[in-house]
Every structure is written in C-alpha cells, then in structure tokens.
Structure 1
Amino acid sequence: MTLEKQKTTIIFAVPVLLMITAFFGNLFVEGWNWSPFDFIIAAVLLFGTAFFINLVIRSKKALLSKLMICFVVLLVLALVWIELAVGIFGSPLAGS
C-alpha cells in the first residue's frame, strides 16, 4: 500500500513535470511564447489544483465522493485554463 507521503509526492510531481515541460517547450518550440506571468499563472493553477486534490484524497469521505470532487476540481481547472487560453466564455480574462 502506498504511504501518504508517497501519494503527496506523486500528486505534486505532476505539476512539476508539466511546468518543466512548459519551460523547455518555451525554449525550443517555435511559436510557444509564454511570458514569466504566464508561468506564474500556470504554476498557481496547477499547484493549487494539486493542493485541493491532496486535501480531498486525505479526507475521510467515501471513495465515490472523493472521485466526484476530484473530477469537479479538474473540470474547474480545465475550464479556467481554456478560458485564459482562448476565451470560450468571452470574459475579460480571455487570452485571445
């Protein structure tokens, strides 16, 4: 069985790997033009999501409840990310 510390490490390793991928993509891929502010926003979104998922996983709720809450957290992340990237809702935060 995986220990709690290992679960936390795995949960927070995903955003680290995504940020490293984005960094190297920004360096080597033509057309990938992230500013430092873009990296800060991405880090806040990814690590904030990892933090909330870690809280849910550590809670005493039933497995189905945990899965549903994690799905909602990931859905919110995806919607915010998409809105910032292309502006599907047309809010003032849209990146397009």
Structure 2
Amino acid sequence: MPTKESNIVKRTVDLKNPPPLTAGQKARLDAVAAMPDAQIDDSDAPFLPDAVWTKAAVQLPHTKRQITLRIDAEVLDFFKHTGKRYQSRINAVLRSYVQAHKAHAK
C-alpha cells in the first residue's frame, strides 16, 4: 500500500517533566483546590464509565490492517462527532481494552 503525505503532527507530554504553568493557571488551580467538592461545577465533564480501560492511549501502533467492521450506529455517530481521526480514537479505545484484559489475565 503506498504511503501518503500527512499533515498530522504528533506531540507527547513528558508527565515527569510537565510544561510550566502560568501565573493565571496557578491562580485558577489554587482557587479550585480551595473549594469544597460540592461547589465545583463538573457539568461539562464527559461521562467516564467505571471501567479499567477508560484511559485509552493516544499512541498509535506502527502497523494497521484494513478491515470491514460493523459498529452500532450510535457508537459510530459518537466517535464521528468527536472530530477528525475518529477511527484512530476507536482503535485507541479498543487497544486500551485489550491491554487491560491482557493485564488481568496474567
């Protein structure tokens, strides 16, 4: 399969060495940290099910195979509405699920 040029830029964040926060960011974090949990508005936070595999990795594998897969319309619509590269996000969720189940099988 021929390769094609891509304008995708991959970035990673070193969690052991995060970028510095601005003074405004620090002030906002301090204000939220001082609030009781009941006062924090989390209504815009996405729903995260209590599953081990909810932390889907963004790291993409080097090789993929093209297949035909039937997915519920509701699931497909959800991922399509998240924007471009929705297929990569579906793959990341599935990969995370597989890794979680492999870890539990050991």
When normalised by structure 1's length, the TM-score is 0.28
Specify the structure having the higher radius of gyration (Cα). 2
When normalised by structure 2's length, the TM-score is 0.26
Bigger proportion of residues as helix: 1
Identify the structure with bigger relative contact order (alpha carbons < 8 Å, sequence gap 6+): 2
